[in-house]
Amino acid sequence: MGFFSEFKAFAMKGNVVDLAVAVIIGAAFGKIVNSFIEDVITPLVLKPALDAAHLSKIEDLTAFGGVKYGLFLSAVINFIIVAFVLFLIIKGLNSVKKKDDTPAAPAPPTQEQLLTEIRDLLKNK
């Protein structure tokens, strides 16, 4: 098996393709979360605190003359939102899986089984 055919077999495995799709979707989702933090959360929730500190963005928060702890706070908020959204997605998927596991129809009573067998025997005679 040649090098390229081995690589093709590796790259086309289901797990590798699924992982690639997940990374791409994760990157796009990260942009959505960053926009949500910067454009929605910061103006609505953090606006009074940022105004008191005379800042426009949470990333501008600094301490001790240059430690940008605002970037850290922004990353923590991003993580919490991503974790919460993933929790909701997984919870929704688990509830769908539980609904799909409906029990099979119960077996008919023995009288119905016996009558069905008798009917089938009479048909064959």
Which domains are assigned to the chain? Answer: 3-120 (1.10.1200)
Report CA torsion sign: 109, 112, 99, 25.
positive
Q: What is the mean pLDDT of residues 66-81?
A: 80
Q: What is the mean pLDDT of residues 54-82?
A: 78
**In sequence order, what DSSP letters do the residues of 67-91 get, joined into one string?**
B-HHHHHHHHHHHHHHHHHHHHHHH
Q: What is the mean pLDDT of residues 60-86?
A: 79
pLDDT tens readout for residues 82-121: 788 778 888 888 887 777 666 667 776 788 888 888 898 8
pTM: 0.49
- pLDDT classification of 1: cutoffs 50, 70, 90: low
